[in-house]
Structure 1
């Protein structure tokens, strides 16, 4: 049986979601609650990742994540994934320096959005995800416009994501703030769907909250990982 290796802790709340969702997805696949997947988690420091990005220390971030993936290999994993969107800013470089096959949350999200035949989708996440192009370029290559909020909106989303959601805090005022931004993007940017480009965002935003299709990157990533298991 394949063993999944997760680089976790990015943040801890979503790592718990990954763990539970992989187990439930695997059991659903096998139509039995008497089976469990082989899984190993290497929980690293989310704030160290943010520091590397803030300091524009790309090589430091690559080395940090590469070491984490290599430790998963040493623990017996034969498939790896980074359980967060933001660190995918250096996914390609890490993938080139590790031997384990890695499943990209960005590539898997592009595949799912393409199936919905949308032309314009909104993208929210941490500031690092919204202001860089590691998400936007793959969508452009697929013929889809990925549109981010304004700079002011990005700052608000980032603050609430890091200060609240990363710490497991779900605030209804924050939910209203996010929904107001999404509605503006729908009205002014003409988005046809929304990518929840932070693995904590599904804690706050649910499909019933908006008429737009929501693309839960955690769920998309988990499905791709479960599909790798026997």
Structure 2
């Protein structure tokens, strides 16, 4: 079994979901008392979020690269960033370490292609939806990526940062997000990417007639395939 390296803390709830899913996945695949071999370095969410808000991406890259370097030195065989938004600096993080980075965008795109989806919608933070760093990575795999209309972005951000990162799962917010998914279906989406770990707390496949691609779930499955393969 390979050792999985994790850079977490963005948010800690997201990191906890990764850790639990990885260990449950190993237990399900191998049985008995088996668990995942992991090394995690967790950054301070408020610090990197403040840098994001001021567009200090060199600062973000430095913090995450230092965390990744520690994970590398601790014996990880490959690296995961437990975040979507901060994949904005994935290339800089990869350049800082000697182990491969399992890029979330590639993992999600491959799942969409395997499911026969050609046009996919992305839901996530306002930053992830309004910038191209993540959608362009997905589009490299031959997919067309759409996002909600701009006036919808702030409400999604509110749900993520004011509710979900504090483990507050609100039924009214679920209804709003499901309604947004239906709008994107009308716009031609053949599937929807939950491009923020916390959104998987809110929306499940049972809530949508469209195929739902949860970033955390897919990232974890890809990591397990690699670690146990």
Shared topology, TM-score over 0.5?
yes
What is residue 106 of structure 1 aligned with on the other side?
Answer: 105
What is residue 162 of structure 1 aligned with on the other side?
Answer: 161
Alignment of 1:70-149 (within 5 A): 70-149=69-148
Distance 2:139 2:165 in 1: 29
Residue 24 of structure 1: CA displacement?
A: 1.4
Distance 1:56 1:150 in 2: 23
Residue 75 of structure 1: CA displacement?
A: 2.3
What is residue 56 of structure 1 aligned with on the other side?
Answer: 55
- 3-state SS of 2:227 partner: coil
Alignment of 1:20-59 (within 5 A): 20-30=20-30, 32-59=31-58
Distance 1:36 1:224 in 2: 16
- 3-state SS of 1:212 partner: coil
Distance 1:35 1:87 in 2: 31
| Structure 2 residue ranges without an equivalent (≥5) | none
Does residue 206 of structure 1 match 2:213? no
With 196-205 and 176-185 compared, the bigger mean Cα shift is at 176-185
Tell me the alpha carbon deviations over residues 8-53 of structure 1, each in whole angstroms, 9 at most, x when there is no partner: 11111121111111111112222x1321221122111222222222
Distance 2:23 2:208 in 1: 28
What is the Cα-based RMSD across aligned positions, in Å?
A: 1.2
Distance 2:138 2:79 in 1: 23
- 3-state SS of 2:133 partner: coil
| Structure 1 residue ranges without an equivalent (≥5) | none
Tell me the alpha carbon deviations over residues 96-121 of structure 1, each in whole angstroms, 9 at most, x when there is no partner: 12212211111111111111121211
Does residue 10 of structure 1 match 2:10? yes
- 3-state SS of 1:42 partner: strand
8 Å Cα contact 2:121-2:191 kept in structure 1: yes
